[in-house]
Structure 1
């Protein structure tokens, strides 16, 4: 059985766990090691049980807990070549554990095949991931100004998608953020809006996704209700009805069981 849990999801910190057989893969470590450990223990796990740590990019809300976490486990750290260089510069202790992922190439981690896909974000070598197991496939796409062609090619057809719905454009534009920050978020190396997420969610559902989890919502420029409503409307217009939810910001999320649409019994 393949299960995905978000440990935290939002602009203040991100971490996600994929469990498949004996493999435990952590995607990002953007919350404290204490919080990661507490979330793992809720699942009956310890940091030492991690098989690998995947890093999407080097912004603090994705790596802030990594340095301390490395003292609690022996797991290798996998990132793209450019992100890995940046990571090693920021956290020298990572270098001895670092393994490079090539875009488009698949790497086996236990029962899971991991593929990095490029995103468009203002961080060197930023990426999303496709993870394939015998039970089905998972796509993780956050922190991107738009859905790159490579990400669309790789992720269309996944069974479970964890997809950024960072902001409502009107709320962001009328909100208190300074102009430069609004422009960064709205720009091609920023974050996906609810409308962008809705469009890609419909394409994901039409290509086979049986569940979509909305992630990385801004606390100031979005709400779970706004994000979910925007995506629900797009799914309805496309005649699609996958399971849809919003990942909790600051706590362990529910178990998302990965299964192919043809065998899912909801």
Structure 2
């Protein structure tokens, strides 16, 4: 059995849980340790049940709760080289359990095979993950300015894909953000637009992905409806019917989402 549950997904904080059989793996810790513990409790779990914590990069909306979490949770913390070095400075309590790896490499623990892949984002090191166990797989690809071929290859065909759909380009361009921030978000090391997310979703679905969770939506520059409509229409043009051929949803920004389970 594989399941995915988002605990929060926005520019204010990101955290999700992937469970593969009896292994429970947290991806990012961008909300408080208390909220993480409360979310786990809703699933009948505790911090002690975590087998590992995967960090994508060191921006605060992905690690805000990590320092406190590491003091109360014995699970190893995996991060790409570069990110691991940054974590030692901003979350030193992770030090004894920090497990650095080379971005793009894979590793295994608790019966789960983890593949990492570099993502183009404005930090020295940023990665996404694909987790596989028992013939099922889940992939997480957020915080990327565009989708390189290597990322498409890494996520395509995953049973569940958590995919960034950060902004609607026109809403961002004519919105209240200062010019420099708009340029950062729109750049190749920024965040993924709805249109770029839709193109990636079509490729992933063509490879066999059957559930996509749109994530990391901007509160100011996007809405769940805009993201869903853009991706749904792109899928339809590709001959894929959302709701029939593929399940498409949006991760709640500031609260726990539903638990998606694959037997």
In the superposition, the TM-score normalised over structure 1's length comes to: 0.95
Q: Indicate if the aligned counterparts of 1:128 and 1:140 stay in contact, CA closer than 8 A.
A: yes
Tell me the CA shift for residue 92 of structure 1. 1.8
Tell me the CA shift for residue 37 of structure 1. 0.8
SS of the residue aligned with 2:185? helix
1:119-174 CA deviation, whole Å, 9 max, x = no partner?
00011210000111114111100000011232122112211110000000000001
Q: Would the alpha carbon gap of residues 258 and 123 (structure 1) be closer, same or farther in structure 2, given more than 3 Å must change? A: farther
Tell me the CA shift for residue 185 of structure 1. 0.2
Q: Gaps (5+ residues) in structure 2?
A: none
Q: CA–CA distance in 1 between the matches of 2:162 and 2:222?
A: 17
Q: Gaps (5+ residues) in structure 1?
A: 260-266
Aligned to 2:47: 47
Q: CA–CA distance in 1 between the matches of 2:17 and 2:135?
A: 16
Q: CA–CA distance in 1 between the matches of 2:135 and 2:262?
A: 6
1:184-236 CA deviation, whole Å, 9 max, x = no partner?
00001100000000000011111100110000000000000000000000000
Aligned to 1:244: 248
Q: Indicate if the aligned counterparts of 2:67 and 2:92 stay in contact, CA closer than 8 A.
A: no
Displaced runs of 4 or more, over 3 A: none
1:88 aligns with 2:92: no
Q: CA–CA distance in 1 between the matches of 2:205 and 2:63?
A: 30
Q: CA–CA distance in 1 between the matches of 2:59 and 2:193?
A: 19
Aligned to 1:175: 175
**Aligned-pair RMSD on alpha carbons?**
1.0
- In the alignment, which of 242, 255, 259 is matched to residue 255 of structure 1? 259
Aligned to 2:56: 56
Q: May I ask how many residue pairs the two structures share in their alignment?
A: 259
1:17-65 CA deviation, whole Å, 9 max, x = no partner?
0112221100000001111111011011111111000000000000000
Tell me the CA shift for residue 111 of structure 1. 2.4
In the superposition, the TM-score normalised over structure 2's length comes to: 0.96
